[in-house]
């Protein structure tokens, strides 16, 4: 793809202008309402994530350097620089794999915008409406850029960490009220800070990709505000980010963003506590369970045919720890058939070491379907279950269903937040549902302090 210099300058400038000048009053009410539930959903993920050992390590590591008392770090009584808080809270909000995502952009826009908005929202004392509109704009930047570079980008690059840096910078620039010129520089700076490898999946470093994006997005915006410049061609220039990290042949998603074309509500909410690339085969399995209720101990063999990325990331049977198992389709299908769910409970040590689960998982074969690969980013999967008596069950899905509603999300939050005082959780839920009418986000920040 050849991009002329003038077009590359225009695209980055127009995106910066939109980040700054997107009019809150023109954002559709459905997007405002949807974003409230994304805040609720992320908050539940953070409550769960706060208890993970890697989050303790991150908290200890990044807070030991101290600094300006600006923003709250989950699990700490003290306040730290906004970038530090965003880094640590970014890790905390992502580790459980329960956070929202986007199928076509391939990644988790909430994980790289919420921690930024919380950190800067607290330090800058922004209103609820400002908070929500910054998130909507940040989501939009993530989704536009993710759809531009994928699916080729995802062969090596972890989109949440890479495109997430731009989304974090956009969220920060909006809350900090940067000028269009400063925001254009912030995007240019973000381009050279963006990083994160798919090779990190299954290790603590996967969530570090997310925290790093949050932190670097704030750094990009702060540097730009202080006069530091970034290249106006860093996004889509001949030697820019899109060209360097993908085989993209079109820039249509990045061109001429408008309030009417905002994309934040096209992200999906997580139903399963596993990698998003396990979702379509799991949808097929649960449909099959409803229809035929096969006995797990009578299954002889299961064959899963799905798209190449899912196969490359999830085909192996891995159950050495929670991080590995969430990226193992044989394990996830085995617990789905054994326990009738794929929740966080199924990734605890007693289940990871369950001989019956592992025996069933060893009977599961995951192979590529060329048809499914050709249809990606639609998430096609075909599952064939063969019973010991020869009976065969077949179930196919042409895309992930992502069926969820707002009452379900409220229950998901309250279930996730069981470790926090029930009344406090009910109160913050009520606050978030009306936060577009509130003058600050203080009750949300106060709730962060209750998470232990």
Report percent pLDDT > 70 for the chain.
99
Q: Is residue 403 one of the residues assigned to a domain?
A: no
Rg of the Cα atoms in the chain: 22
> 280 and 266: one domain?
no
Q: Is residue 137 one of the residues assigned to a domain?
A: yes
Q: Read off the pTM.
A: 0.91
pLDDT of residue 403: 77
CA-CA-CA-CA torsion sign (431, 432, 434, 438): positive
Band of residue 3 on the pLDDT scale cut at 50, 70, 90:
low
**For residue 347, what are the CA distances in angstroms to 96, 200, 320, 350, 427?**
10, 19, 10, 8, 30
Encode pLDDT of 126-143 as tens digits: 999 999 999 999 999 999
Q: Is residue 297 one of the residues assigned to a domain?
A: yes
Structure tokens at 165: 């840096």
Q: What are phi and psi of 233, to 5 degrees?
A: -110, 10
**For residue 370, what are the CA distances in angstroms to 58, 84, 150, 305?**
41, 44, 18, 9
pLDDT of residue 9: 85
The answer to whether residue 325 scores a pLDDT higher than 70 is yes
Maximum Cα interatomic distance, the chain, rounded to a whole number of Å: 72
pLDDT of residue 292: 95
Q: Is residue 365 one of the residues assigned to a domain?
A: yes
> 25 and 101: one domain?
yes
Are 75 and 451 contacting, i.e. CB atoms less than 8 angstroms apart?
yes
Structural domain of 12 = 1-270+423-450
> 238 and 173: one domain?
yes
Distance between CA atoms of residues 387 and 391, nearest Å: 5
The answer to whether residue 109 scores a pLDDT higher than 70 is yes
Q: Is residue 372 one of the residues assigned to a domain?
A: yes
> 209 and 306: one domain?
no
Structure tokens at 90: 């970014």
> 266 and 120: one domain?
yes
Encode pLDDT of 34-74 as tens digits: 999 999 999 999 999 999 999 999 999 999 999 999 999 99
> 161 and 122: one domain?
yes
Using DSSP bridges, classify how beta strands 364-368 and 299-306 pair: parallel, antiparallel or unpaired.
parallel
Q: Is residue 409 one of the residues assigned to a domain?
A: no
Residues 6+ apart with CB under 8 A from 431: 438, 443, 444
> 78 and 156: one domain?
yes
pLDDT of residue 66: 92
The answer to whether residue 386 scores a pLDDT higher than 70 is yes
Are 256 and 98 contacting, i.e. CB atoms less than 8 angstroms apart?
no
SS3 state of residue 445? helix
Distance between CA atoms of residues 202 and 320, nearest Å: 10
Distance between CA atoms of residues 327 and 319, nearest Å: 9
Structure tokens at 214: 């949050």
Encode pLDDT of 252-293 as tens digits: 999 999 999 999 999 999 989 999 999 999 999 999 999 999
Residue 259, number of CB atoms within 10 A of its CB: 18
Q: Is the peptide bond before 400 cis (omega within 30 degrees of 0)?
A: no
Band of residue 2 on the pLDDT scale cut at 50, 70, 90:
low
> 23 and 107: one domain?
yes
Structure tokens at 6: 């003038």
Average pLDDT over residues 366-386: 96
In this structure, what CATH number is given to the domain that contains residue 362? 3.30.1330.120
> 61 and 207: one domain?
yes
> 116 and 166: one domain?
yes
Q: Is residue 188 one of the residues assigned to a domain?
A: yes
> 239 and 322: one domain?
no
> 10 and 111: one domain?
yes
Q: Is residue 414 one of the residues assigned to a domain?
A: no
Structure tokens at 119: 């950190």
Domains held by the chain: number = 2
Burial pattern 119-156, b for ≥16 Cβ within 10 A else e, equals: bbbbbbebbbbbbbbbbbbbbbbbbbbbbbbbbebbee
Helix (H) or strand (E) holding 383: strand 381-387
Distance between CA atoms of residues 399 and 385, nearest Å: 19
In this structure, what CATH number is given to the domain that contains residue 253? 1.10.4100.10
Encode pLDDT of 389-441 as tens digits: 999 999 999 998 887 889 989 999 999 999 999 999 999 999 999 999 999 99
Residue with tokens 């025996």: 359
Find the helix packing angle between 159-175 and 180-193, rounded to 10°. 160
């Amino acid at each position: 793809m050849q991009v002329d210099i003038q077009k590359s300058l225009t695209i980055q400038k127009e995106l910066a202008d939109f980040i700054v000048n997107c009019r809150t009053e023109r954002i559709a009410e459905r997007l405002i309402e949807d974003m409230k539930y994304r805040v609720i959903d992320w908050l539940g993920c953070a409550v769960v994530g706060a208890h993970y050992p890697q989050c303790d390590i991150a908290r200890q590591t990044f807070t030991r350097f101290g600094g300006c008392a600006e923003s709250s770090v989950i699990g700490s009584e003290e306040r730290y620089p906004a970038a530090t808080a965003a880094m640590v809270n970014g890790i905390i909000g992502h580790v459980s794999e329960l956070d929202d995502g986007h199928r076509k952009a391939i990644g988790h826009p909430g994980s790289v915008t919420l921690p930024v908005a919380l950190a800067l929202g607290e330090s800058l004392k922004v209103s609820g409406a400002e908070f929500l509109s910054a998130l909507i704009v940040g989501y939009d930047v993530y989704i536009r850029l993710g759809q531009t570079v994928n699916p080729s980008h995802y062969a090596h690059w972890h989109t949440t960490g890479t495109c997430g840096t731009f989304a974090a910078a956009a969220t920060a620039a909006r809350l900090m009220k940067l000028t269009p010129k400063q925001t254009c520089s912030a995007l240019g700076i973000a381009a050279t800070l963006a990083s994160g490898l798919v090779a990190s999946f299954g290790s603590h470093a996967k969530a570090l990709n997310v925290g790093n994006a949050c932190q670097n997005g704030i750094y990009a915006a702060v540097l730009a505000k202080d006069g530091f410049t970034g290249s106006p061609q860093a996004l889509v220039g001949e030697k820019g980010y899109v060209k360097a990290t993908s085989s993209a042949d079109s820039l249509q998603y990045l061109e001429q963003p408008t309030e009417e074309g905002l994309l934040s509500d096209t992200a999906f909410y997580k139903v399963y506590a596993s990698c998003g690339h396990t979702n379509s085969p799991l949808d097929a399995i649960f449909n099959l369970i409803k229809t035929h209720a096969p006995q797990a101990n009578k299954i002889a063999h299961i064959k899963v045919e799905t798209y190449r990325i899912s196969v490359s990331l999830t085909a192996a049977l891995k159950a050495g720890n929670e991080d590995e198992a969430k990226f193992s389709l044989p394990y996830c299908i085995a617990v789905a058939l054994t326990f009738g769910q794929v929740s966080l409970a199924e990734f605890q040590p007693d289940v990871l070491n369950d001989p019956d689960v592992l025996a069933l998982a060893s009977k599961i074969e995951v192979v590529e379907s060329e048809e499914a690969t050709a249809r990606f980013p639609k998430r096609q999967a075909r599952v064939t279950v063969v019973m010991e008596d020869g009976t065969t069950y077949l179930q196919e899905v042409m895309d992930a269903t992502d069926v969820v509603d707002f009452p379900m999300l409220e229950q998901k939050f309250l279930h996730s937040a069981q470790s926090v005082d029930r009344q406090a959780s009910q109160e913050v839920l009520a606050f978030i549902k009306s936060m577009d009418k509130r003058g600050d986000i203080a009750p949300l920040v106060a709730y962060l302090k209750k998470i232990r």
